[in-house]
Amino acid sequence: MNESLQRQVCFSLYSASRAATALYRPMLEEMGLTYPQYLVMSLLWEKDAQSVRDLGEALDLDSGTLSPLLKRLEAADLVQRRRAVEDERRVRINLTDAGRALQNDARNLPDRLAASAGLAPQDLQSLQDTLAKVTAALRQAAAK
């Protein structure tokens, strides 16, 4: 590999992301989910009945990307899309019973990734903290 490419932080982040997604892929396929769908479901498992807007902001996805993903989750009977009573322009996403039940199958995915990474829990936490700082700083820089 090109040495200058190996020294670029953006490539290291990209490579790590692809490796993590590749590890998750077969586990998620068993559950009938793609990685982006898993992220949506994870947010809903933390807090059900979120608006499409809130999900999009949390995942940094626009509605053009998120809406088809939500339609596929609804077709799989994992979520329901409902118009908000207080404002019909807003759509709330609710877990179905099948969507809630899927959480049990997904519980050990982060632990499996951590074990595969070969890092101690405190090292993984430090990595997450660093990545959160990097993400916030890069978003702030991009907004200028």
Q: Tokens for 127, please give them.
A: 């990595």
For the stretch 29-55, pLDDT in tens is 999 999 999 999 999 999 999 999 999
pLDDT score recorded for residue 112: 85
Give percent of the chain above pLDDT 70: 99
pLDDT score recorded for residue 6: 80
Report the C-alpha gap between 99 and 30 in whole angstroms.
Answer: 14
- Given a cut of 90, whether residue 73 has pLDDT beyond it is yes
Report the C-alpha gap between 34 and 107 in whole angstroms.
Answer: 16
